[in-house]
Chain A
Amino acid sequence: MDARAQLVMVFHLDKCLGCHTCSISCKNIWTDRRGAEYMWWNNVETKPGVGYPKKWEDQEIFKGGWVVDGNDLRLKALGKGPTLLNMFFQPNMPKLEDYYEPFDFDYGNLYGSREENDQPVAEAFSQISGRKIDVIRGGPNWDDDLSGSQLYASNDINLEQRGIVEDYGKMFMHWVPRICNHCLNPACVASCPSRAIYKRGEDGIVLVDQNVCKGWRFCTSACPYKKVYFNWDSGKAEKCIFCFPRTETGQCNACAHSCVGRIRYVGVLLYDAERVERALLRPDDQLVEAHRDVILDPGDPAVRDAARKNGVSDQWLDAAVQSPVYALVKEFGLALPLHPEFRTLPMAYYIPSLSPVLATLGDSHELMEHGVFPSVETLRAPLSFLASLLAGGNREVVAQVLGKLIALRAFLRAKNLHQPIDPEVLKKAGLDEAAALRIYRLFTIGGYDERNVIPAQQREEQDPHARSGESGFGILKKTGRGK
């Protein structure tokens, strides 16, 4: 057993209100720079939708992630030899149009304009070429809240029936906030010929070393989540850094901290690095189970010993026990990985959304469960859709989770209304009363310290001098092209 610690974020999709506060706080801190205007290390996309960059989930376009090849995993895009031959032009790299042309408005004109008959306006200009943009053709969240659904939502590759987004009686939507998943088997790391991208041993955060990156840009396409971005000014790759300067001091990430819906949970998972590769060789529909198998029980003494051998401190082990993430992902099995079939073993998990808690029009009345809620099969968000998004196509796994969420609601509804509680409701879903109350706390009234259990780095146990003077994104030195 090779037990290691990983910082993980869980997203409760039912609670996300699509306000984009998370994206803004991330942008303000990290990507409000030249060359990074178009980057949203944290973005929130409407599902169904094509997402950001457009069609990122379609690996026939971008060739991201891993595929099983006999008894081995290999990068879908390029082997090592072909990597060398494609350095001059990278065939699968996403281009600016796949994101959008970043723009700003010329507010100065409002003050400085000559006196004329018409009011001055703040015209849009491109943040890249500086030229005026007459018609803005795309922007961050251009397809927010299903706008332009025939163009965007109906092209979501997870949809079985594309027409569903135009049918008022069946329509559904929810938001999916996305950051880098800080995967256990990161394709970005494997694809980098300069070996600039690495995974930190202590907390699993995946970083691009800006000093080593030479701008060969294979990572941008190899990441199946499109979470490595190319800075067009500095000529290097950048990505979400899991706010490590914050987590190292025990604070939670800026996106999670600012989250209005309080949908995010941050905590430690212990995993067995030796099991990773075998887990990923399993067929698509067993990958959720494979994820759960890789995660270790932090209460198990054997696990704790193994983790200590790898330098995991007692403080981290305690955090692993209290981890809301462990509870949601493994103990209660509520949170699922985003597109596990890309086989990077993503370490961000999503509690699927029930909402709208409505059945499709017409069959709502016959199929009520517990007297109030529609049954899982008739919820608006089709099982097949959620299964394609969060379970490698395995509907059963999703149905189990939704069953738990519905049972939880039924249980608490009865409790709050002082109605008799049928113990079978929870039992059938695989929960008990204690579990239900714990989950209820986490979902609702749990405070900051319950939702975020982040142990600080133990600098005194390590060598503080070894790393002094290291810099991040050109903080000490200037990036860019010069004149």
Chain B
Amino acid sequence: MLNTFLFVVLPYAALALFAFVTPYRYFSNRLTWSAYSTQFLERKTLYWGSNSWHYGVIPVVVAHFFGIFAPDAMQSILANRQALILLESAGLGLGLFALFGCLVLIVRRLVTPFLGPVTTAGDWILLALLLFQTATGVYMGMFLRWGSQWYLHTAVPYFHSLLLFHPQAEYMSDVPMVFKLHAAGAFLIVALLPFTKLVHLLYVPFDFLKDPPILYRWRSPKAGG
């Protein structure tokens, strides 16, 4: 019952929200599409919080997706014991880094009066959820060894079954509780993404790398270029 809710109902609800609300927000009011930086108001602790958080979490998130979209490649890399140990320790290190960053981000919002008016309920829910997510991730990295290995045999095939609209929650039924919570947390984050400032991660700019420095816009298509 719980399994069905966590691994069938929740994921589809989350993916549906993500798929429909994100474009809705984009097309209805892009004026709210921002990372809502608070650096202007407080920068000393943000330096440690934001840098540790992002440099920790982005590689870890990328690795998760790598596992989903290229399981075979990941499998062959991990077959090498040295590589496995290296990746596991790197993952744990990055996780700890992110956890530290997340804690700093939370504490800084608690203790800085300036941040009161720029902190919304959404921010608290998001930060709490991300703390939970990083904490469960780090816990598994420490106490349930070789996670990157069994991730490939449990969560990855389960994700594939989700994406093929033939959900097989069985893959996830026998895993430890903390792993279940970690997976459910991920779906909550996906569900929340279109409603919070987290939308910023969908819009990482790369175009500017090849553009000429000065951008012109002409009112009339006939003139100039």
Let me know if A462 is at the binding interface, CB within 8 A.
yes
Let me know if A195 is at the binding interface, CB within 8 A.
yes
B213 touching A483, Cβ below 8 Å: no
Q: Which residues 162-200 of A have a CB within 8 angstroms of B?
A: 185-186, 189-190, 192-195, 197-200
Q: How far is the CA of A408 from the CA of B51 in the complex (A)?
A: 59
A235 touching B36, Cβ below 8 Å: yes
B216 touching A198, Cβ below 8 Å: yes
Q: Mark B186-222, 1 if CB is under 8 A from A, else 0.
A: 0000000000010010011101110101111111111
Main SS of chain A's interface residues? loop
Determine, out of B26-34, B161-169, B173-181, the stretch whose residues face the partner at the interface.
B26-34
- The chain A residue sitting closest to B122, CB to CB, is A482
- The chain A residue sitting closest to B39, CB to CB, is A93
Q: How far is the CA of A200 from the CA of B217 in the complex (A)?
A: 5
A477 touching B31, Cβ below 8 Å: yes
A311 touching B224, Cβ below 8 Å: yes
Given A195-B205, A195-B211, A233-B118, A214 and B35 contact (CB-CB distance below 8 Å): yes
B120 touching A483, Cβ below 8 Å: yes
- Contact-size category for B: 35 or more
Q: How far is the CA of A176 from the CA of B10 in the complex (A)?
A: 61
In angstroms, how far is the closest chain A Cβ from the Cβ of B79?
A: 32
Q: How far is the CA of A283 from the CA of B47 in the complex (A)?
A: 37
Q: How far is the CA of A235 from the CA of B118 in the complex (A)?
A: 10
Let me know if A47 is at the binding interface, CB within 8 A.
no
A217 touching B205, Cβ below 8 Å: no
B43 touching A130, Cβ below 8 Å: no
- Name, among B40, B46, B207, B213, the residue most crowded by chain A CB atoms within 10 Å (CB to CB): B40
Chain B contacts of A201 at CB under 8 A?
216-219, 223-224
A88 touching B43, Cβ below 8 Å: no
Let me know if A467 is at the binding interface, CB within 8 A.
yes
A193 touching B208, Cβ below 8 Å: yes
Q: How far is the CA of A277 from the CA of B208 in the complex (A)?
A: 19
Q: Mark B80-113, 1 if CB is under 8 A from A, else 0.
A: 0000000000000000000000000000000001
Cross-chain contact of A199 among B35, B41, B113, B215 (Cβ < 8 A): B215
Let me know if B50 is at the binding interface, CB within 8 A.
yes
A463 touching B220, Cβ below 8 Å: yes
Let me know if A479 is at the binding interface, CB within 8 A.
yes
A195 touching B120, Cβ below 8 Å: no
Let me know if A232 is at the binding interface, CB within 8 A.
yes
A462 touching B215, Cβ below 8 Å: no
Cross-chain contact of B219 among A200, A236, A478 (Cβ < 8 A): A200
Cross-chain contact of B205 among A128, A131, A216 (Cβ < 8 A): A216
Interface size on A, residues (CB 8 A): 60
Q: Mark A211-230, 1 if CB is under 8 A from B, else 0.
A: 11111110000000000001
Chain B contacts of A83 at CB under 8 A?
208
B217 touching A478, Cβ below 8 Å: no
A214 touching B203, Cβ below 8 Å: yes
In angstroms, how far is the closest chain B Cβ from the Cβ of A57?
A: 20
Given A88-B51, A93-B40, A95-B43, A480 and B32 contact (CB-CB distance below 8 Å): yes
Given A89-B50, A93-B39, A193-B205, A235 and B222 contact (CB-CB distance below 8 Å): no
Cross-chain contact of A90 among B39, B117, B122, B211 (Cβ < 8 A): B39
Q: Which residues 448-477 of A have a CB within 8 angstroms of B?
A: 457, 461-463, 466-467, 474, 477
In angstroms, how far is the closest chain B Cβ from the Cβ of A69?
A: 13
- Name, among A88, A199, A474, the residue most crowded by chain B CB atoms within 10 Å (CB to CB): A88
- The chain B residue sitting closest to A2, CB to CB, is B224
B222 touching A198, Cβ below 8 Å: no
A185 touching B214, Cβ below 8 Å: yes
In angstroms, how far is the closest chain B Cβ from the Cβ of A288?
A: 22
Let me know if B114 is at the binding interface, CB within 8 A.
yes
In angstroms, how far is the closest chain A Cβ from the Cβ of B74?
A: 25
Chain B contacts of A467 at CB under 8 A?
219
Chain A contacts of B116 at CB under 8 A?
129-130
In angstroms, how far is the closest chain A Cβ from the Cβ of B103?
A: 16
B224 touching A310, Cβ below 8 Å: yes
A234 touching B31, Cβ below 8 Å: yes
Let me know if B76 is at the binding interface, CB within 8 A.
no
Cross-chain contact of B41 among A193, A216, A232 (Cβ < 8 A): A232
Q: How far is the CA of A457 from the CA of B219 in the complex (A)?
A: 10
Let me know if A114 is at the binding interface, CB within 8 A.
no
B223 touching A482, Cβ below 8 Å: no
Let me know if B64 is at the binding interface, CB within 8 A.
no
Given A210-B31, A236-B34, A463 and B221 contact (CB-CB distance below 8 Å): yes
In angstroms, how far is the closest chain B Cβ from the Cβ of A415?
A: 46
A310 touching B223, Cβ below 8 Å: yes
Let me know if B182 is at the binding interface, CB within 8 A.
no
A88 touching B224, Cβ below 8 Å: no
A89 touching B219, Cβ below 8 Å: no
Chain B contacts of A232 at CB under 8 A?
38, 40-41, 118
Let me know if A438 is at the binding interface, CB within 8 A.
no
A216 touching B214, Cβ below 8 Å: no
Let me know if A282 is at the binding interface, CB within 8 A.
no
Q: A89-B47, A189-B214, A236-B34 are in contact. List 13 more A-B contacts (CB 8 A).
A: A95-B40, A129-B114, A130-B117, A195-B215, A200-B216, A200-B218, A200-B219, A202-B220, A213-B34, A215-B35, A232-B38, A461-B220, A481-B197
Give me 21 A-to-B residue pairs in the complex whose CB atoms sit less than 8 angstroms apart, sorted by A's number.
A88-B54, A89-B51, A95-B41, A128-B114, A195-B207, A198-B216, A201-B217, A201-B224, A214-B35, A215-B37, A217-B37, A230-B40, A233-B118, A235-B34, A457-B219, A462-B222, A477-B29, A478-B32, A481-B32, A481-B118, A482-B32
Task: Spell out A's residues near B (CB within 8 Å).
Answer: 4, 80, 83-84, 87-90, 93-96, 128-131, 185-186, 189-190, 192-195, 197-202, 210-217, 230, 232-236, 310-311, 457, 461-463, 466-467, 474, 477-483
The 10 closest A-B pairs by CB, nearest first: A311-B223, A235-B34, A201-B218, A190-B213, A235-B36, A215-B34, A462-B220, A193-B205, A88-B54, A211-B30
